[in-house]
Amino acid sequence: MPETDPTAPEPSSPSAPAFSSPPPSAPVPSSPSAPVPSSAPSASVAAAPYPFEFSLDDTALVIIDMQRDFVEPGGFGESLGNDVDQLRTVIPVLAEVLEKCRSAGLLVIHTREGHLPDLSDCPPSKLARGNPSQRIGDPSPNGRILIRGEKGHDIVPELYPIDGEPVIDKPGKGAFYATDFGSILAERGIRRLVVTGVTTEVCVHTTVREANDRGFECLVLSDCVGSYFPEFQRVGLEMIAAQGGIFGWTAPASAFLSALAGQAHTHVPGQQPLTALADPVRAG
């Protein structure tokens, strides 16, 4: 990549208007969307570094960016030089987790990384970063890369959202930045997140770190998150649970599903139907 002069004006796409970052938020209260402790958790997952406890009514399954642009050839992931097959291995395991969570009445939230067609929400630095073979907004077999409304931007069919499941469209790597993810969690009394999706060291990590700082407890399912790099997958998971769970917990899907199965048997559907709370929300 050619040397760049840091004092030179930002390169810009001819059709892209000036990037406008979201307005600075009002002074941050001590904890803007801080989860309020509810009743004692009723389920326990065998996790690292110690058991992760949760209840059906205070926990959401979060599926991060399982979009064609990351897991299919010709999209954003491949344009960055990655082998997308590495990520597809999570799909069948995650599909099972999704089905069991839906059956148990757990809130399910999906995210998608992407940008407005005019790229006004895409920082020029993100557009230029990495000197990719194709840039965000360029044409691809699945439409314009990482642009909302295009086929490549959408979620893979195996994990497609159903009515009532919020879909958070985010311009960044983290799910909280410039979205209403935090307010949706607060409205629904969610304080724990079971986190899945791609990629482990980028959007999963960023979201878990953002959530951790906001007071949420995160369990990352180790075989439901994927990286283009096996080493990053291993180390990325270790980082989360290190230092006594500095960012959260990790466990395989099987451990979470065992705990969920115990809950599903004791849960009385209809008493507090979560689906009634889950109005269709297409955030963003």
Where on the chain is the footprint of ligand TIU (CB under 6 A)? 65, 70, 80, 113, 173, 198-199, 202-203, 228
Which entry of 65, 121, 154, 169 is annotated as an active-site residue? Answer: 65
Residue placing its CB nearer to ligand TIU in the complex, 228 or 247: 228
Residue placing its CB nearer to ligand TIU in the complex, 43 or 283: 283
Which entry of 101, 203, 218, 224 is annotated as an active-site residue? Answer: 203
Q: Is the peptide bond before 49 cis (omega within 30 degrees of 0)?
A: yes
Min CB(111)–ligand TIU separation in Å: 8
Asked if 100 is an active-site residue, the reply is no
Residue placing its CB nearer to ligand TIU in the complex, 57 or 154: 154
Consecutive H or E run containing 198: strand 192-198
Asked if 203 is an active-site residue, the reply is yes
Structure-token pair, residue 37: 């402790």
Residue placing its CB nearer to ligand TIU in the complex, 33 or 79: 79
Structure-token pair, residue 147: 């642009």
Cα maximum dimension of the chain: 63
How far CA 103 is from CA of 56, 224, 249, in Å, comes to 11, 18, 24
Structure-token pair, residue 165: 């499941």
Torsion of CA 206, 209, 215, 219, to 10 degrees: 90
Asked if 151 is an active-site residue, the reply is no
The span from the first CA to the last CA of the chain, in angstroms, equals 34
Which entry of 170, 173, 218, 223 is annotated as an active-site residue? Answer: 170
How far CA 112 is from CA of 122, 167, 231, 248, in Å, comes to 14, 7, 25, 22
Active-site residue set: 65, 170, 203
